Every structure is written in structure tokens, then in C-alpha cells.
Amino acid sequence: AGVLVARAGAISCRDESGAEVDYWFAYKYPQAASSSYGGVRYSRLTSGGDSWAMSDAEITSEAESIVGVTLQDVYAQTPGVGYVLYNDQWPNGDWTEDYGHSKGALVFDADGGYFMQHSVPDFPNYVDQGYLYGSSQEVYGQHLSCFSLSLEELNQVAGVMLYSGPWIYDSADGEDMSGLANVTALCEGETLYSTPASVSVAIPTSGAAGTLTIFGKTGAYDADMMDTVVAPALGVDLVSESWLNSGGVIGPFCPADGEASVVDTVTLEYGNGTSSWPTADDHSKWAVSVNGTWVCVVDNNRVYSQYSRGGLAVCLENQAWHAALADGIVAADSCSGIDDDAEGVACCHYDDDKCNQGDVCCYSSCDDPSTCSYSETGCSGDYGQIHDCVWSDGTCVVGA
């Protein structure tokens, strides 16, 4: 790492130019989906006007990536700047299941700071060792998010963390800790982690993020974060992305009483359609509402083993952020099977459990709705009738 110097301005989330922003979100692509870039490219959006697009920077670059630029005050060890770095998988290789499944950082000075929530193991690196995004974390998809907050707001976030149980591996006091009693308590090992509880706090920030709703659960709460805590509180159906490769997949959560449901993504596509991947290649954790503009960044996976792990979920209503993620969901589970292309017209095959009205009824060896339609004869045949396919304007489509 190069030599960093203190910079002017607030301790804040920063965009790639170094300008202060109220929030940003970055989505690093899996290596398999971006092999020409080596798994280090990402898309991002910011409150400062950077629309959802693939960045020219690599996430490994401290000087150019949105993550590295934001963390520069930490690694420059700017006087008066305090920080709390936590992860259930530490940069030295240590890991735990005795604390929350949480990854992130609180960074602040006497005037304010930011909360960085993410999904990346072993990150951020120890401060005295400099910025490092390790090669082992280039393989899978990851998300990182940042919210600029006042000291009072940061202290509220830390209050929820007393329940979620972050495993802290590096920290330093800021110049003035008098308004950060919960941060101090975290660093001194105080916790409510063994109490069966969930908690939420609505933080009406003064910035472009608007109101952040921060949810937390303890390990002793022994339930899924999205199904039991977030979805009922928001009152909206959610599509969730998380790591489902181990721990026992919960599957679709579909309450019989019609309350809010939660289902998992199956296939994702971003980078203006240039990169697609299955959720098995993705370690990020987020959710979007089926209706409305709710988006959440989350600590926990939707698997049974995470019942006993604490964590956070940060939710807000944000049209641009919601659209960025929702538009990339190619396929997701549903409460009656797989919903191909949940966000638009797709192929409906005869062996699909569920299709959407208006989807193209496609023959089984083809997946392009623009070229794979049944013929008019096939549309009225046995396979076509499985999904009530009808012939309309020269195409076989799923009817009402």
C-alpha cells in the first residue's frame, strides 16, 4: 500500500472521486461471471448521482475503488478518527460461530462518520497492515454498502449491535467518545447476545438515504432474520439473495394467512446483461420487495444454521437502489415453484411449476422468448394447455 495522508472534509462515505456522499452500494461480481476481470469488478450506485453501472475501478484498489477511497481515513490513521472493525471471519483466518454472522465497520470523528455493512469475509484488513481486498474473496459475488451518519445515528446503530453480537478484531477510540456510549460498550465486550430477542430502530437520517430501519436479532432468538423479523415488520413480500450452499436451505416462506412471504433468488444478471450467474456463485446478502421500493442489506443467510446466529438487516425505501437489484433477478423461487424471470417476460416451459401471465410458452430445448414460442398447433396441444397457453399476435403466451 502507498503512503496515505489525511484529507480535508468530513468522515463520510465517499464516491470514487473522493466526494462525500450520503450512501453508496457496491456489488462485486463473481469470478466465474466476470472471468475477464478476475473477479474484481463491481457495479455501484451512490446518492451523489452515480447511476447503477459497472465501475472502471477494481475493488482491490485502495486509491480508486469506492470501498478503498472511503476507508482511506482509517488506513491513513488520521488523528481523531475512531473505528470499529468486525467480522465473524477475521483477516488472520480466525473464525467463529459464537458471535453474530455480521461483517462491517463503524468509522467516526468528533463530528460524524459512517456505517459500512457488507458480506466479505476477512475484510477490512487490520489497520496497521494497510488496505487489502484478498484474492480469496474475489471468487464469489459480494455486496458492500455505506451510510453516512451523525454521531447520534451511529450510536443508535451500535445499540442494535449489542443484540446482533459483532466479533470485533480492530478498534480505536475517536477524539470524543462522549456521545458514543453504545460504541464504547461494544468495544468493552458488553452484549445482549444471549437474550432471546429481536429489535428494530427507525433512524430518520438527514441525508438522501432517508429513514433507515435497522433490524437486529440475537443468536438466542433462534429464528430466521427475513421470515420472522424483517418481512412481518415491513409488511411486504420479499425476494432474498443469500449464501445457500450450506447450512440447510429454508426454502420459500409462504404463510397460510397471507402475511408477507420471502423467497430466494435463483439466477441473477447485471452489467447491462453482460454477466449472469446462479445464486450458488454469490455470497452477497440483500432483499428487495416484490411491490414498492424496499431494499435491505443483510448479515444473515436464509438457512437453518443461521437461526442461532445474530445479525443485522438495514432496510430503506429507495427507488433507484431497488430497481438496480430487482431488474437483475432473472429467476426466483415462488410460493408454488420457480418463477422464471420474475421481473419480465420469460420462457414458460411445460415442466415449470409456475409461470406468469404473458410469458412465452417455449419448447423445452430453448430459453429465448423471442425465438422459442410454440407453433400455433403446439400452443393448443397437450403441453401448451398445461399453462393455459393461448395464441396471440403470432406468439404462444400464458393466458389469464
Please count the residues of the chain. 400
pLDDT tens across 169-199, in order? 999 999 989 999 999 999 999 999 999 999 9
Sign, CA dihedral 135-322-245-97, equals positive
Decide if 206 contacts 12 (C-beta within 8 A).
Answer: no
Backbone angles phi, psi at 319, to 5 degrees: -65, -45
Cell of 347: 420462457
Per-residue model confidence as pLDDT tens digits over 332-380: 999 876 655 444 467 888 777 667 777 888 876 576 777 778 888 778 8
> Cα–Cα distance between 243 and 129 in angstroms, integer?
29
400 residues of the chain, pLDDT tens digit each: 444 545 567 999 999 999 999 999 999 999 988 666 779 999 999 999 888 999 999 999 999 999 999 999 999 999 999 999 999 999 999 999 999 999 999 999 999 999 999 999 999 999 999 999 999 999 999 999 999 999 999 999 999 999 999 999 999 999 989 999 999 999 999 999 999 999 999 999 989 999 999 999 999 999 999 999 999 999 999 999 999 999 999 999 999 887 899 999 999 998 877 788 999 999 999 999 999 999 999 999 999 999 999 999 999 999 999 999 999 999 999 987 665 544 446 788 877 766 777 788 887 657 677 777 888 877 887 767 778 899 887 888 888 6
- Cα gap 122→137, rounded to integer Å: 8
Dist CA 327 CA 365 (whole Å): 25
For residue 180 the three cell numbers come to 458514543
Q: Which residues does 239 contact at the CB level (< 8 Å), separation at least 6?
A: 262, 263, 264, 265, 287, 288, 289, 290, 326, 329, 332, 342
* Angle (CA) 310 314 319, round 5°: 155
The phi, psi pair for 31, rounded to 5°, reads -60, -40
Task: Give the start-to-end residue ranges of the domains of the chain.
Answer: 23-340, 347-398
Q: Which residue has the cell 459483532?
A: 166
Q: Which residues contact 8 (CB under 8 A, 6 or more apart)?
A: none
CA–CA gap between residue 213 and residue 198 (Å, rounded): 13
- The single-letter code of the amino acid at 300 is N
Q: Which residues of 148-161 are buried (b: 16+ CB within 10 A; e: fewer)?
A: bbbbebbbbbbbbb
Q: 385 Cβ partners below 8 Å, 6+ apart?
A: none
